[in-house]
Amino acid sequence: MRVPIQRTTVPQSSPLIRAHGSHIMLDFTEWWMPPEEGAEAVMELVRAALREEGVREVHHKAVVLGTRGESPPGFTAVVLIDESHVTAHCYADRGWLALDVFTCGGASTARVAAAIEAGVRRLSPRAVLQQRASAPRFVHRVD
């Protein structure tokens, strides 16, 4: 049984609505880097961007996929932070790299995402940012 997804639009100008966090998604194409090398490089640049912004890391892990044919070649990675996470997922055979930057503390999600985007461009100058999307998170009413 499929459960319908309920979508709600939050009016950004409403004085009664606030967001405690922000989520930025970056989708790249033309990311041609071997999975092992890409996983290590992306993990390093994400952790550096978080340190630069003063965000406390609580755990990180990267897993290279597809080495035994169980998955398409690529990697998945996560850096858990004290107030959310940054994730990366790569389909190496398609040249796709997707990153999610979600913070809900005092850190600037936009600055972290910008540093990660710049790092991706340094690592792979041919990479093309196909989409940069953002959404407020922990949206709540102020009474």
pTM of the predicted structure, to 2 decimals: 0.86
In a domain, 91, yes or no: yes
The count of structural domains within the chain is 1
Residue written as token pair 């997922």: 89
In a domain, 120, yes or no: yes
Sign of CA dihedral 113, 118, 123, 126: positive
Higher pLDDT, 53 or 138: 53
**pLDDT given for residue 17 in this prediction:** 76
Q: What is the pLDDT of residues 4-26, one digit of tens each?
A: 545 555 555 666 678 888 999 99
In a domain, 128, yes or no: yes
Please, what is the end-to-end C-alpha distance for the chain in angstroms? Answer: 37
Residue written as token pair 């630069």: 52
Question: In angstroms, rounded to a whole number, what is the distance separating the alpha carbons of residues 38 and 48?
Answer: 15
CATH number at residue 119: 3.60.90.10
Nearest Cα to 103, choosing from 115, 95, 94, 112? 112
Q: Is the pLDDT of residue 71 over 90?
A: yes
Domain range enclosing 101 = 17-141
